[in-house]
Structure 1
Amino acid sequence: MRTTASLLPARDLLRALQLRDLTDPAQGPHAVQLLFDDVLAALTDEWGCDLDVRRRHPLVAVEDNYDRLGYAPGDVTRDARYSRYVTETVMLRSHTSAGIPPVLRDLAAAGPRPGLDVLLALPGVVHRRDSIDRLHVGTPHQVDLWRVVVAGADDPSPLPGRDDLQQMIALLVQAVLPGADWRTVPAVHPYTRDGAQVDVRTPAGWVELAECGLIADHVLTGAGLDPARTGGLALGMGLDRALMLRKGIDDIRTLRSSDPRVAAQLLDLSPWRPVSSQPPVRRDLSIVTDAGVDAELLGDDVRTALGADAEDLESVAVLATTPHEDLPPAAQHRLGTRPGQVNVLLRLVLRPLGGTLTDEQANRLRDRVYAAVHRGPHVEWAGGEVQRVQWAHSQHE
């Protein structure tokens, strides 16, 4: 049973639902749509299959996001620290795979015709708790690509297998990064068998592009489909990462930038031409917080604290974590730590994509982050006494 405190506040839900989906042409053009279209064309042209693009609402049933895909009841990813629950049974999807069970149920209800061969494509924004750096954001874009095949009544040909999965990977990589080298690494997913991670070679080394596998029988059975006659391929890809690799962009925040110099380059797939970069502004914070808090949870708290100003944040890094018990007595006294708490050295790197930050502006952002993540009795503000009064007042409330 989730407590009220673990549910997403109404203001955060509203902000999430108002976020622009860069994959949706109805919300304006974007290069990610062109890349998505290239991938769909590459697959359907080779297979000669039908195409069914589904744009589903980001609010989904918890059952579809987890249970019907095969996630175990105790899986850590279900924890409210990592998933965004709206009610006990509804959440903001943590992956576009959450749309697959209802689509398969639709196929079953319609009576899947023998000989059916369809590519299900489900793009959209997903919502998760993640670390903050140049490659990660709490609201990335994903696409699930599932090829579903129903054997014909008199057709002895087998359903798609490993060779077909290898072909799908090759087609995908060629569409995203023409000519790139790729490899697969075994991976386990609750909704596939023979699962694999797809990596591509870049100048910086191997980078993950997608996850894939053969559709697991239990996913088909749970939707009302016969796995003896129905099967196929399942692949999920991060569209932000794919576009960044294609255009040579090194900062994921660029994809949503409103700077005209940046936005104009996000209407095609031409190589990225860097605009003038602002110098980074670093702020190191020594905070007290509960043990077990990691970079992902801290990153989510920081995003929430900064709201729209989180766009100015390039990264949040945990430089060091020291449990209360390992601190010298003098440090315990100075910080006011208690058993079960840790002292975390946190580094914020602030770098607006357009414009600059003054020291005063950077300090204000630093203090907002500090107030959101610090759990100790003693405070160290970048500013003056006014902030101390505000802190005391907020803690009293």
Structure 2
Amino acid sequence: MSGPNSSYDPVQVTPLGEEQVFAMRDAALAAIAAAADLDELKRVRTEHAGDRSPLGLANREIGALPPQARKEAGLRVGQARGAVNQALAARSEELEAEAEDRMLAEETVDVTLPWDRMPRGARHPITMMSDRIADIFVAMGWEVAEGPLVEAEWLNFDALNLGADHPARTMQDTFWTEPAENHVVLRTHTSPVQARTMLTREPPIYVVCPGRVFRTDEYDATHSPMFHQVEGLVVDEGITMAHLKGSLDHFAQAVFGEGITTRFRPSYFPFTEPSAEVDLVCFVCRGTGEVPAPDADGGTGQSVTCRTCRGEGWIEWGGCGVVNPSVLVACGVDPDRYTGFAFGMGIDRTLMFRHGVEDLRSFFEGDVRFSRAFGTEI
């Protein structure tokens, strides 16, 4: 049996020639040196040191050589791959050091500067507006009165001259607690606070009553089953509608700015007689119903209809009137000696007017980014 022909030495595989291997090595070393960052070096590693790289494919060809040439070619390819791997390691170390130095330079923190890692919070805008309104009337010598959110039916309706058949008592308008025979409701307005005040103190009475109220309204951009009202009550000798008008004009100017006045439109409320709707002169167009339109040059051109008041010049704000004598009698006040006035408007609605908020739900969604825009007032 004949043995292997060890003297047979065919021509070497072309990619394993000395010049070709050295050319692959030099190309890899040049690409490694030119890599500007770690991402580019990663790409170079794949192209020149991976399994599908020229040196990687050449290493596969070693097995096709005869024994005499296999050792020499393997040594040559192995040295070239070793040089490439050493260059990759060295360049990687250099680029990592450069990246760290750059990060330290760009992200340097001066630890000697004052710091505040706690994010600044904000009071809720409705709370701030309620406090601001209270401050306005306290400065006029009034007092702030409060009452419970869950109220007796008699104080919420009967004492305020809302009869047993009044539609506001129905389930479509009022939240009733169970059992029904307890005659307890979630207050539908802050007027029960006025009744409580008249029942517990002697005139003269000058109180303002901000607080939450509840009605079975749909929750949308302009309605909510829970909202906020402020009501004012004055009971004293010689009180007239003129005192009411002066108080509301002062209130309007304190909230919306100088020159803002109110007007009364005849209306009906069970607890006041006479009664009126309160309109606020538009604080944008100042009652003209029009505002200048900006032109292309940044100036002002022709006038356009005011969006705030929709061209009417007035904005509906609330309701008011002289306290009905029946309410005074129900609360133990002598109507022959004392007269008074009362008014009420929505705090949420006032805030929407004052700050241009278009969606009532923004006040109740709990987004701190919305509340933070109003800042903090003490």
Could you state the TM-score of these two structures normalised by the residue count of structure 2? 0.55
1:215–1:234 CA contact under 8 A, matched in 2: yes
Letter in 1 for 2:276: A
Letter in 2 for 1:90: V
Q: State the alpha-carbon separation in 2 of the partners of residues 180 and 250 from structure 1.
A: 22
RMSD: 2.1
Counterpart of 2:370 in structure 1 is: 262
For residue 96 of structure 1, the aligned residue among 180, 190, 199 is 190
1:101-151 deviation digits (Å, cap 9, x = unpaired) = 2221101xxxx2xxx5432122211110123432211111011111222x4
Measure how far apart 1:50 and its partner are.
4.0
- Cα 1:266/1:253, change in 2 over 3 Å: farther
Counterpart of 2:359 in structure 1 is: 251
Greater C-alpha radius of gyration: 2
For residue 324 of structure 2, the aligned residue among 216, 226, 236 is 216
2:253–2:261 CA contact under 8 A, matched in 1: no
1:64-123 deviation digits (Å, cap 9, x = unpaired) = 11111001221111111221111331011111112222221101xxxx2xxx54321222
Measure how far apart 1:219 and its partner are.
0.9
Indicate whether 1:225 and 2:336 are aligned. Answer: no
1:43–1:168 CA contact under 8 A, matched in 2: no
Indicate whether 1:204 and 2:308 are aligned. Answer: yes
What is the total number of aligned residue pairs between the two structures?
Answer: 224
Q: State the alpha-carbon separation in 2 of the partners of residues 199 and 252 from structure 1.
A: 20
- Cα 1:85/1:218, change in 2 over 3 Å: same
Q: State the alpha-carbon separation in 1 of the partners of residues 172 and 185 from structure 2.
A: 13
Q: State the alpha-carbon separation in 1 of the partners of residues 193 and 137 from structure 2.
A: 20
Structure 2: gaps (5+ residues): 1-121, 283-306
Q: State the alpha-carbon separation in 2 of the partners of residues 77 and 104 from structure 1.
A: 23
Q: State the alpha-carbon separation in 1 of the partners of residues 221 and 195 from structure 2.
A: 32
Counterpart of 2:269 in structure 1 is: 189
1:37-76 matched pairs, under 5 angstroms: 37-46=131-140, 49-51=141-143, 53-76=144-167
256-265 vs 119-128, which deviates more? 256-265
Higher strand share: 1
Divergent runs of 4+, >4 A: none
- Cα 1:118/1:214, change in 2 over 3 Å: same
1:141-178 deviation digits (Å, cap 9, x = unpaired) = 011111222x4xxxxxxx11011111022112112222
Structure 1: gaps (5+ residues): 1-27, 152-158, 270-397
Measure how far apart 1:31 and its partner are.
2.7
Counterpart of 1:170 in structure 2 is: 249
- Secondary structure of the residue aligned to 1:140 is strand
Measure how far apart 1:235 and its partner are.
0.7
Counterpart of 2:126 in structure 1 is: 32
Letter in 1 for 2:128: L
Letter in 2 for 1:264: R
1:216-263 deviation digits (Å, cap 9, x = unpaired) = 111111111111222221011110001111111111111123223212
Letter in 1 for 2:360: I
- Secondary structure of the residue aligned to 1:99 is helix
Measure how far apart 1:33 and its partner are.
3.4
Q: State the alpha-carbon separation in 2 of the partners of residues 187 and 198 from structure 1.
A: 10
Counterpart of 2:239 in structure 1 is: 160
- Secondary structure of the residue aligned to 2:269 is coil
Q: State the alpha-carbon separation in 1 of the partners of residues 254 and 235 from structure 2.
A: 21
Q: State the alpha-carbon separation in 1 of the partners of residues 375 and 212 from structure 2.
A: 19
For residue 119 of structure 1, the aligned residue among 206, 209, 212 is 206
1:96–1:143 CA contact under 8 A, matched in 2: yes
- Secondary structure of the residue aligned to 1:60 is strand
2:233–2:340 CA contact under 8 A, matched in 1: yes
Q: State the alpha-carbon separation in 2 of the partners of residues 163 and 181 from structure 1.
A: 14
2:234–2:340 CA contact under 8 A, matched in 1: yes
Could you state the TM-score of these two structures normalised by the residue count of structure 1? 0.53
